[in-house]
Chain A
Amino acid sequence: MSKAESFLLSLAHTNRLSSVHTGLHAIDPRAKVIATLAGILTIVSHDRYTLIGLLPYASYPLFLALWGQVPAGYVFSRLLVVSPFAVFVGIFNPLIDRTPLVQVYSITISAGWVSFLSLLLRFVLTVSAALVMVAVTGFREVCMALGRMHVPRAIVVQLLFLHRYISLIASEAARMIRAYRLRSFGSSGLSLKGYARLTGTLLLRSYDRAQRIYSAMLCRGFDGTIRVRNQLHFRSADTLFLAGWIAFFIMVRLVKPGEALTHF
């Protein structure tokens, strides 16, 4: 199975998760989007050597995943896919910043290692919060929430179209790669030149499709605005959810339960 094909399966998985119905799914998407953003911002606002002080934030993604019935494997497999980015950002910290910071028995841990681990932890916390939030809300609902919160229309529409057509583009890519492999006897994988050609063709095909979609939109009276039904209602449960989590984040940020431990 090619990467494009397994990507398609994972998309279907995300869509299935968001169609489950739990009390969490019924919470207004705006409350979930804002709470998640607030959580991410607070996590990022900690100083670079915070390690244990970050742990309480794990309760947010855990809470969402448990209530929303998101399997752990779903989150971890996706974290693994994007983890190289975080690793590369912080990999040189231990080499550059060698000031001793923590002493555990006879082992001295340098500040670089602590900041590297802190970076990885932040990455795990923020990305898993975002992943779980989208899984229990649904991509379409997240987009609707963004639209209602006055995020520029162009961005929201772009996201909606990306979500609608990425599976088609991925399946087109999967077919092209399969056709290429069937005739590239013996040689393993795609050559760089082959990739370049496939990407070019894919771009041209997407361009053609975009034109056809646009004319289909014009045919049904498109005038620049996409009008969707307003199905969002902010109720007291949503306010409670949002206020509760923001209060929690502020509390963790101010109390700093782990500070004493990281700087002993």
Chain B
Amino acid sequence: MSHHLLQATELGYTYPDGPTALSGISFRITHGESVAIVGSNGAGKSTLLQHLNGCLVPQKGTLRVGDVIVAESTLQTVRRTVGMVFQDPDDQLFMPNVYEDVAFGPANLGLPAEDIELRVMQALETTGVAHLRTRAPYHLSGGEKRAVAIATVLAVWPDILVLDEPSSALDPRARRRLLELLKTFDHTKVVATHDLDFALELCERTIILSRGNVHADGPTKELLAHSEILRAAELEPPVSAQGCPMCGWRKSND
């Protein structure tokens, strides 16, 4: 299943107004992996994510998505393979109602009407929001918006899911529901997040970025338990890995 592969080689990007966002990063994500990208503000997470589906094209190095190298000429294929869930669902839900929003991607693929209908309903049912299909996006709650945003991406049937800060601005219950939903997907997942507890539960692997470089890359449980590594990358250990603030008791790693 080579089209689930994501491979960056010495990927570099400098913004036109100066700052170097990525200075030569390399990693390889294979089929079915769930990888968290963490790092402090300005570490290069957003820039990296924008490369993964061709919103930015590599200036230096290469990025391989499945069988193709990301370049201007391959953008259509890349975007069909990689589904991107934006941080702010309001940016992603631009159509007048939920149904049409989810149908936007499949309609652009030129599918016949019955196939579009099938994909839309399937995506809405997977994310548990089929009952909202006639609603306008501005009437939805934060959790509902997030679920619909994910459905819009699922309807294109991507092989790789990229999520930018999926748990931000969600109340604890909506966050939990999202977590359980994402666990059921067998797509390759790349999740950029500040919520290290979220990363700990969802992703078996973590890549820590710091100032445009890969600071560490390894199993989430090991990396996030290393407070020295985290501190060097200007991060703090996840709450679940910190001791009890009252008595200092800490659950040992199982």
Q: With A221-B108, A222-B108, A229-B103 given, is the CB distance from A212 to B91 under 8 Å?
A: yes
Q: How far is the CA of A140 from the CA of B83 in the complex (A)?
A: 27
Identify the stretch in A62-70, A96-104, A161-169, A195-203 within 8 Å (CB) of chain B at 4 or more residues: A161-169
Name the residue among B50, B91, B109, B137 with the largest chain A CB count within 10 angstroms: B91
CB of A227 within 8 A of CB of B96, answer no
A227/B55 contact (C-beta < 8 A), A209-B91, A218-B79, A221-B76 known: no
Q: Which of A220, A228, A229 contacts B79 (CB 8 A)?
A: A220
Contact residues in A for B105 (Cβ distance below 8 Å): 220-221
Question: Chain A contacts of B88 at CB under 8 A?
Answer: 212
A221: chain B residues within 8 A (beta carbon): 76, 79-80, 105, 108-109, 156
Question: B86 and A212: CB pair below 8 A?
Answer: yes
| B100-137 near A? 1/0 per residue, CB < 8 Å | 10011101110001000000000000000000000011
Q: Say how far A4's CB is from chain B's closest CB, in angstroms.
A: 15
A-B contact pairs, 8 of them (CB 8 A): A139-B96, A140-B96, A161-B94, A164-B138, A216-B92, A217-B94, A226-B104, A228-B107
User: Is residue A47 contacting chain B, with contact meaning CB distance below 8 A?
Assistant: no
Give A227-251 interface residues, CB cut-off 8 Å to B: 227-229
Q: What B residues does A223 contact at CB under 8 A?
A: 108
Given contacts A212-B86, A220-B79, A220-B108, contact A164 B91 (CB under 8 A): no
What DSSP secondary structure best describes chain B's contact surface? helix
A110 contacts chain B at the CB level, 8 A cutoff = no
CA gap between A103 and B139 in the complex, in Å: 56
A155: min CB distance to chain B, Å: 16
Q: Which of B79, B83, B104, B113 has the most CB of A within 10 A?
A: B104
For this complex, into which size category does the number of interface residues on chain A fall? 20 to 34
Contact partners of B92 in chain A: CB under 8 A: 216
Q: Is the interface of A mostly helix, strand, loop or mixed?
A: helix
Q: With an 8 A cutoff between CB atoms, is A204 at the interface?
A: no
Cross-chain contact of A220 among B96, B97, B104, B138 (Cβ < 8 A)? B104
Cβ–Cβ contact A167 & B138, under 8 A:
yes
- Tier of interface size on chain B: 20 to 34
Binding site for A on B (CB under 8 A): 50, 53, 55, 76, 79-80, 83-84, 86, 88, 90-92, 94-97, 99-100, 103-105, 107-109, 113, 136-139, 152-153, 156
Q: Mark A110-121, 1 if CB is under 8 A from B, else 0.
A: 000000000000
- The reply to whether the CB of A213 lies closer than 8 angstroms to some CB of chain B is yes
- Asked if residues A229 and B113 are in contact (CB atoms below 8 Å), the reply is yes
Residues of the B chain whose Cβ atoms lie less than 8 Å from the Cβ of A140: 96-97, 136
B70 to chain A, nearest CB (A): 13
Within A87-140, which residues are at the interface with B (CB < 8 Å)?
A: 139-140
**Residues of the B chain whose Cβ atoms lie less than 8 Å from the Cβ of A216:** 84, 86, 91-92, 94
A219 interface contact, C-beta 8 A: yes
Q: How far is the CA of A229 from the CA of B97 in the complex (A)?
A: 12
Contact B91–A220 (Cβ < 8 Å): no
Q: Given A160-B96, A218-B55, list of 7 further CB < 8 A pairs? A: A216-B84, A217-B94, A217-B104, A219-B83, A220-B153, A228-B100, A229-B113
Let me know if B136 and A15 touch, CB within 8 A: yes
A215 within 8 Å of B (CB atoms) = yes
Q: Which residue of B lies closest to A208 (CB)?
A: B91
Please name all residues of chain B whose beta carbon is closer than 8 Å to the beta carbon of A209 when the two chains form the complex. 90-91
The 6 closest A-B pairs by CB, nearest first: A221-B108, A220-B105, A140-B96, A227-B107, A212-B91, A215-B55
Q: What is the bound-complex CA distance between A32 and B104, given in angstroms?
A: 27
CB-defined contacts of B95 to chain A, threshold 8 Å: 160, 164, 226, 228
Which residues of B have CB within 8 Å of A168?
Answer: 90, 138
Beta-carbon contact of B55 and A220 below 8 Å: no
Name the residue among A140, A163, A216 with the largest chain B CB count within 10 angstroms: A216
